[in-house]
Structure 1
């Protein structure tokens, strides 16, 4: 007996999957989950085949019968509808570009697995897609991914190279799952050969801070880098947050720097309360910016910031010949955190100033911003740093200016 719309609406799931026939090979399959799928069963070259037509109710009874009739016409002409559908899938897979599939991957996998995807998305848009975005996903090779990863390593960003490898591996894993690739080309590049994660604990002593700042300001590196390194120490921000900063977000009249969500590692906006000394440094950077919208426009341009490795190189050059163990720009944040904790400042206040996400139950229930305490703490920190270098008579800035 043929199916009716009323009969379809009355179908209910059971403990096991069951089928209900319509006519001429058309039937629905009802799953325990409640899902209902249209299928067409037919005989081709002496064997039975079945073709999935679509889901009910998105595919109505009337349209399911039309699709069955189209498939039956193919059978009558000596063609297998199931094989035609498989060939169409293969053709689609062959033409799916990395850019197209990456959007699907982020939508279906990445955003569900991770809450904050700011950094993976940045690596995708700035490192992966410019290199292979237009290439069919099926044709991506080990050499393609090696080129992307090693380009980052050659610039001295081993940790970033490791993160890019991670994005590429997960992307290609999902491509294999979806049938777009036979094998994952990233697996030929073990992570241990790209970047070996090492837990860092480098903290500068007060004497080392003095040597660092004195060396930086008496070196021949660009004045912007001298000020930038000093600001990172005073404000406890990440290097990328300063390099991407724009003047529209720096409010010197309020002594506040508003870091927008797109520039923040946490994916949330963050306010940096500026000490008197930090405000003076920002004023000098504004004079050096030459009217650019960027706080630190790059060499020879007003529209693009300095490359991340440029300030790394500047730090290395500034410390040449100094008897001080190596450290990274990121270690300045750890230094500030350690010394402020040792000075008795509350951990939550320090963590908020660092723009860290506080984990556990405290992070869930504690939504305080500690604005007044953070402002007080950052002024204390800037005063502490100023006292360290004052005795050496090195001109870092005119910090006697009124707040």
Structure 2
């Protein structure tokens, strides 16, 4: 067996260059870093591997292929079998692997062979939905929102990035500048979680998000639709048709959050109510929404979508039959177009929720009932009172939402045209 690799880099490089492949695979231990081996195949291919113990069992981790020059230093201690590394980099990575193994962490669990942005984001989402970042999976609704933001606001702007290690804080700031104020805050929050994720931080050698300037917090909105605007939006929703039209109408009639309605499943509809599990709500509390007859009629008129194999979709609002509706930007544009001229000034879908609460107040509905409808944690019932008051206001919620539906019909001149059920 050849002598061990000398400690100094230049001598090590010369030593490796002089090696000759044999008939069988060879593992040459490094003289400077315990557990590190240079692996030579009969073909002459060279790679580095670390032999250690994980959970008391012997394990081997391939950390890269040998290259005299190595890769860009910005790559940090990334663990990748295909990455080109020199002796110095191999020793640094081996030290990290040994330290991780000693702490009980399996370095193979964070090993990613690809460095593209898309690959890293895919791995990030996979981790969020399985093991999570704090010992448990991320809540399903939160993971869905992460994925929506990454797919809509991040990946399209970083298509040209083939190696995540080339990104710095200026790239983050340029990306954020292309987004709307609200989208900036959401994208920054997801990118903060992504760049703080240990595998990414280890691959890049630093957390670049700490250098990026955080977007300013947007001012709280107080936009409420006027009676004429409510009528305009309702009529525009009729013209939009399925799926965005009836979805917008239900947002106004129920006061629920956008994704809670957009992601509705048929299994969550029973008789005259919507039942949402804790995982489906923003505050992680189960929630029951009584349906007024008008809301029930809208739901009953919805088409039952089927996938390519003829299987019925589980979602009320969908364009693919396999995933819930997500084309909010185009849907909102269509809604605005059908509102006619002049267009409604600066309004968002979330304003329908605020308008619902305002109209309930005009009807004299008690605030605690409105809070129960909106599934808010705060409100008049708080503190010690909230601990002992477990009344769910179901009867009051139903009466309030039925009154609201009647008011909406009156606002729209009592000539509401229901959306026809599609074939």
1:303 maps to which of 304, 318, 322:
322
CA shift, 1:257, in A, is 1.3
1:263 maps to which of 264, 280, 302:
280
Are residues 174 and 293 of structure 1, via their aligned partners in 2, closer, same or farther at CA, if it must alter by over 3 Å?
closer
Tell me, yes or no, if the aligned pair for 1:118 and 1:265 is still in contact at 8 Å.
no
Are residues 227 and 121 of structure 1, via their aligned partners in 2, closer, same or farther at CA, if it must alter by over 3 Å?
closer
Are residues 275 and 316 of structure 1, via their aligned partners in 2, closer, same or farther at CA, if it must alter by over 3 Å?
same
Tell me, yes or no, if the aligned pair for 2:409 and 2:416 is still in contact at 8 Å.
no
Query: 3-state DSSP class of the match of 1:231?
Result: helix
Tell me, yes or no, if the aligned pair for 2:292 and 2:398 is still in contact at 8 Å.
yes
2:226 maps to which of 201, 205, 214:
205
CA shift, 1:348, in A, is 1.5
C-alpha separation between the residues in 1 aligned to 2:236 and 2:188? Answer: 36
Which string of whole-angstrom CA distances, capped at 9 and with x for unpartnered residues, describes residues 292-327 of structure 1? Answer: 3211121xx322222232332232222241353231
CA shift, 1:146, in A, is 3.9
* Equivalent in the alignment of 1:387: 410
Are residues 174 and 249 of structure 1, via their aligned partners in 2, closer, same or farther at CA, if it must alter by over 3 Å?
closer
CA shift, 1:210, in A, is 1.8
Q: How does 1:334-345 map to 2 (within 5 A)?
A: 334-345=354-365
2:190 maps to which of 167, 172, 184:
167
CA shift, 1:384, in A, is 0.6
CA shift, 1:372, in A, is 0.5
Are residues 233 and 274 of structure 1, via their aligned partners in 2, closer, same or farther at CA, if it must alter by over 3 Å?
same
C-alpha separation between the residues in 1 aligned to 2:292 and 2:99? Answer: 61
Query: 3-state DSSP class of the match of 2:360?
Result: helix
C-alpha separation between the residues in 1 aligned to 2:188 and 2:141? Answer: 13
Query: 3-state DSSP class of the match of 1:258?
Result: strand
Q: How does 1:278-317 map to 2 (within 5 A)?
A: 278-286=295-303, 291-298=312-319, 301-307=320-326, 308-317=328-337
In the alignment, structure 1 residue 249 sits paired with structure 2 residue 268? yes
2:338 maps to which of 295, 318, 335:
318
C-alpha separation between the residues in 2 aligned to 1:157 and 1:84? Answer: 40
In the alignment, structure 1 residue 139 sits paired with structure 2 residue 159? no
Tell me, yes or no, if the aligned pair for 2:235 and 2:339 is still in contact at 8 Å.
no
Are residues 238 and 146 of structure 1, via their aligned partners in 2, closer, same or farther at CA, if it must alter by over 3 Å?
same
Tell me, yes or no, if the aligned pair for 2:257 and 2:350 is still in contact at 8 Å.
yes
In the alignment, structure 1 residue 275 sits paired with structure 2 residue 270? no
Compare the two structures and name the one with the higher helix fraction.
1
Aligned pairs, how many?
306
CA shift, 1:330, in A, is 0.6
Provide structure 2 residue ranges, at least 5 long, that are not aligned to the other structure.
Answer: 1-30, 33-52, 57-90, 101-106, 113-119
CA shift, 1:337, in A, is 0.7
CA shift, 1:354, in A, is 0.9
Are residues 125 and 214 of structure 1, via their aligned partners in 2, closer, same or farther at CA, if it must alter by over 3 Å?
closer
CA shift, 1:199, in A, is 0.8
CA shift, 1:169, in A, is 1.7
C-alpha separation between the residues in 1 aligned to 2:373 and 2:362? Answer: 16
Tell me, yes or no, if the aligned pair for 1:275 and 1:379 is still in contact at 8 Å.
yes
Are residues 145 and 341 of structure 1, via their aligned partners in 2, closer, same or farther at CA, if it must alter by over 3 Å?
farther
2:348 maps to which of 328, 340, 344:
328
Tell me, yes or no, if the aligned pair for 2:305 and 2:313 is still in contact at 8 Å.
no
C-alpha separation between the residues in 2 aligned to 1:280 and 1:341? Answer: 25
* Equivalent in the alignment of 1:374: 397
* Equivalent in the alignment of 2:143: 121
Q: How does 1:33-48 map to 2 (within 5 A)?
A: none
Larger Rg: 1
CA shift, 1:366, in A, is 3.0
1:108 maps to which of 134, 138, 146:
134
C-alpha separation between the residues in 2 aligned to 1:292 and 1:343? Answer: 37
- With structure 2 as the length reference, what TM-score do the two structures score? 0.59
Are residues 179 and 203 of structure 1, via their aligned partners in 2, closer, same or farther at CA, if it must alter by over 3 Å?
same
Are residues 292 and 388 of structure 1, via their aligned partners in 2, closer, same or farther at CA, if it must alter by over 3 Å?
same
* Equivalent in the alignment of 1:225: 244
C-alpha separation between the residues in 2 aligned to 1:367 and 1:178? Answer: 45
CA shift, 1:158, in A, is 4.6
CA shift, 1:339, in A, is 2.0
Are residues 136 and 179 of structure 1, via their aligned partners in 2, closer, same or farther at CA, if it must alter by over 3 Å?
farther
